[in-house]
Structure 1
Amino acid sequence: MRTHPVRTVCLLLLSCLLCPWSARAAEAPWAIVLGQDAKRPAVTKLLAEQKKARAFAWVKPAKGFPKLVASKALPGLPEGQHVLLLGVCGTKEEAQAARALVRPMVPEASVQQLTGPTALACPAPNALKAELPADAKAQGSFAFPDAPGLELTVHRVAPIPALACPTTDLWLRVVQGNAVLARHVMKGQCAGACTPQEQEAAKARVASLQAKARQGDSTAELMLKNVSVDCQARQTHFKTVLTELGQPVAVVAQEPAMSSRMPDVGMLVGPGCGKLIVSPYLSGETGKEDLSKAQAKADAEGQEGWRAFSVFVPGPDPTAVAERRHLGHFVWIAPKCEWVTDDEEGQDM
């Protein structure tokens, strides 16, 4: 039976269209490897350590993962190894995106292409239900080195409900695309006389102090300098991001809650244990420093510089170590998921 010419052409076109998809389907999958060793107990210990460090807080593995497998169970893995596997993805891009979710806490994580088919079990982001308000104003977005798609973002957001003074909240988030992995909100607040009753009381107090001051009361004169009848906004300001530590760490300055005459206090906000952690205050009179110029120097080079580092503001000569204004030395305490300061050690930068 003779085939109709039009039908033949259609079949040829369909075959050409399907060829790329067939080739893609035949591509070997990619494994996300968290570690490997010739001895099984070493890998078992590694998994326990990673769980204790909350390394999987931002990732939602498939059921049964992460798991320890013999390398012979998956074609293409090094022979004679016990492998700690986070999952298996269909493409390199998917595997790299999954690896990025654990890379800040597991810098040795890698992706390896297999040489044959296997069941897919690709991890997904463990996203929070935390939508960014429509009126949020972006102040910056900073990529994680060696973790494609992972970013630290900073936004100013109007508080809900609105406050009596024109203040805003500072939102810091870790995101991968539309998935929010961690969030920390530094709320603005109002200080002073912010209600009609408080304003009346403040005016009466000022009048009383003024009367005493006119009579020569020196204490009243001093107290008048710190008394206000206004409702004053207090908020946290984003200054810069330290990029020398293997992951972005934000520098912020918080206005004091009690007095506008007090200097701002500096702090750091950075990832740790699957959250955004706020450091102790930066040392010294940080309110007199331009914290937007702050820099960091890790104790040891590498992707985990954030575990121990010094923060400083450079002097007129940026290369002169002696002119640096030391702001603190920070050490990560893993069991407590926090930074602590050690200024004596930090002086030796």
Structure 2
Amino acid sequence: MLMLRTLPAAVLALLLIPWQLEAATPRANPQENPWVIILGSKPRPAEAQALLESMTEKKPLQWLKPAAEGFPKLVESASLPGLAPGLHVLVLGVCGTRETALAARARVLPMVQDAYVKQLTGPAPLACPTPIPLKARLPKGAVQLASVPFKQDKALVLSIYKVNERSVMECKTNDLLIRLEYGREVLTQESIEGDCRGVCTSGAKQEGEARLAEIRARIEKEEGSESELDYNFVDCLSFTPKFLGVLGGYERPLFFVSTEHLAHHDVVKSYVHAVGALCGKISVSPYNDEPGPYSHPVEYFEHAEARRSTPEDADDNTFDIGVREQGPAADKSATPLWKKVATLDDGGCGLDLSVEER
């Protein structure tokens, strides 16, 4: 796995020199000036170094291979024709065409949202990163449930599919497949699997029915309790992930999905998860088992919207997740009221979703 390297301050001055590569480096087509891929820029060297170091954790090189050792590298903006002087620029590479530059930028956008491409006004040595595609085919019968583009590049999308529908006795289940796609290429994917659990064989059902008959006989004799019937003795239960909706008003595509787990007395409980592309992978927020054996209000997440609750420059990124609802006694023409249903903590490389109690 390629990682950004933290550069000592003593080495930084060596990088902030006019753009130079070996003479043998190929150049762009003379009919088109090359395109530079920029991850960020700062006016002072120390700020540029801090920017480079801050990107290490984000793993921006997860889905591409730099053209040469040392990339991404810090250079003076004046060394590249067409860039405004006086800046220290973090360059991912230089490509011969806009299409190849955009394809490289798309592979870092989920981690570096401010990355952009710019055409130079003169020639420059080429150093275009090479994409690392994931060889993955959609399972037969896959059904796309949603696909949301990144606002910086509409060809880069987060998609979710229902796949592998299957049955075990009376239980029907399926998996969810979340993929980060650029055109026809897959950058990464993650599966949330469904399951059939409980009494899922004919032999186990016969044993369960005998157990139920024994409990009912004891209850009739007032030697047993009705609570003993709460447990599953005869059902093959479906624990199936479900797509709930897309988070609106957020800075990047984010899905809500629910999963089901067995709580006390065999009560099936639903949990809500936030799903997005962070730090080179598909991230799924963990479920919180604190509230008790009652279902979370999963119906709220079909049209949920995000509102930032921390300043833009804060160390943590926290958002209120809510829906707009008509008040119980309000006129239907009145503006719907905002109702908070969850809190989302975006740690940069992980998501945490806390659902409000009913």
Q: TM-score, normalised by structure 2?
A: 0.77
Decide which of 326, 330, 335 is 1:316's aligned counterpart.
326
Q: Residue 32 of structure 1: CA displacement? A: 0.7
Figure out how many residues of one structure are paired with residues of the other and give that number.
Answer: 316
Aligned to 2:345: 331
How do 1:244-263 and structure 2 match up within 5 A? 244-257=249-262, 261-263=267-269
Distance 1:122 1:255, change over 3 A: same
What is the aligned partner in structure 2 of residue 43 from structure 1?
A: 48
Deviation at 1:250, TM superposition (A): 0.5
- Say if 2:245 is the partner of 1:240: yes
Partner of 2:201: 195
- Identical counterparts, % of pairs: 35
Tell me which protein shows more strand as a share of its residues: 2
Change (3 A) 1:175 1:231: same
| One-letter amino acid of the structure 2 residue matched with residue 253 of structure 1 | S
**Which of 72, 89, 93 lines up with 1:66 in the alignment?**
72
Q: Deviations 1:95-123 (Å, cap 9, x if unpaired)?
A: 23322222233232221211222222223
Q: In 1, Cα distance between the equivalents of 2:224 and 2:318?
A: 49
Cα distance in 2 between the residues matched to 1:278 and 1:67: 32
| Counterpart pick for 1:297 among 295, 307, 331 | 307
Whole-angstrom distance in 1 between the partners of 2:198 and 2:230? 14
Helix, strand or coil for the counterpart of 2:48? helix
CA distance in 1, matches of 2:296, 2:67: 47
Contact kept, 8 Å, 1:153 with 1:175, in 2: the verdict is: yes
Map of 2:282 onto structure 1 = 276
SS of the residue corresponding to residue 48 of structure 1 reads helix
2:51 is aligned with what amino acid? L
- Structure 1 residues 293 and 82 mapped into 2: Cα distance closer, same or farther (>3 Å)? closer
1:282-328 deviation digits (Å, cap 9, x = unpaired): 87852464432333222369899x9321112332259444x61x322
Residues in 2 aligned to 1:342 and 1:232: alpha-carbon distance in whole angstroms: 26
Q: Aligned letter for 1:30?
A: W
- Alpha-carbon distance between aligned partners in 2 of 1:228 and 1:308, rounded to the nearest angstrom: 43
Distance 2:311 2:115 in 1: 18
Counterpart residue type for residue 227 of structure 1:
N
Q: Spell out, residue by residue over 1:210-244, the C-alpha distance to the aligned partner (whole angstroms, 9 max, x if none).
A: 2112212452x222243341212210100111131
Give 3-state SS (helix, strand or coil) of 2:256's partner. strand
Contact 1:99 1:147 (8 Å CA) reproduced: no
Q: Can you list the C-alpha shifts for 1:24-70, whole angstroms capped at 9, x where unaligned?
A: 74110110111223433332221121122223323333223212223
Structure 1 residues 319, 121: closer, same or farther in 2, change over 3 A? farther
Is residue 119 from structure 1 mapped to residue 119 from structure 2 by the alignment?
Answer: no
Matched, 1:227 2:242: no
For residue 61 of structure 2, the aligned residue among 49, 56, 63 is 56
The residue aligned with 2:24 is: none
Q: Partner letter of residue 144 of structure 2? A: A
Where in structure 2 are there 5+ consecutive unaligned residues?
1-27, 328-333
The change in CA–CA distance for 1:216 and 1:314 in structure 2 (over 3 A counts) is farther
Counterpart code for 2:184: N
| 1:286 aligned residue | 296
SS at 1:256 equivalent:
strand
Alignment counterpart, residue 130 of structure 1, candidates 107, 111, 136: 136
Q: Please say which of residues 40-49 and 181-190 is displaced more in the overlay.
A: 40-49
Q: Determine which structure has more spread, i.e. the larger CA radius of gyration.
A: 1
CA displacement 1:153-203 (0-9 Å, x = unmatched): 11111169x756431101111111222222221101012111233223212
Q: Which amino acid aligns with 1:294?
A: A
Q: 1:280 & 1:33 partners in 2: Cα distance?
A: 34
Asked if 2 retains the 8 angstrom alpha-carbon contact of 1:151 and 1:176, the reply is yes
Q: Which amino acid in structure 1 is aligned with residue 109 of structure 2?
A: R
Q: Judge conservation of contact 2:250–2:305 (CA < 8 Å) in 1.
A: no
The alignment's C-alpha RMSD in Å is 3.2
Quick check: 2:318–2:346 contact (8 Å CA) kept in 1? yes
Distance 1:145 1:217 in 2: 65
Aligned mates of 2:255, 2:98 — CA distance in 1: 31
User: How far apart, in 2, do the equivalents of 1:302 and 1:142 lie?
Assistant: 24
Q: Does 1:178 align with 2:176?
A: no
Instruction: Tell me the TM-score normalised to structure 1 length.
Output: 0.79
The letter of the residue matching 1:307 is: N
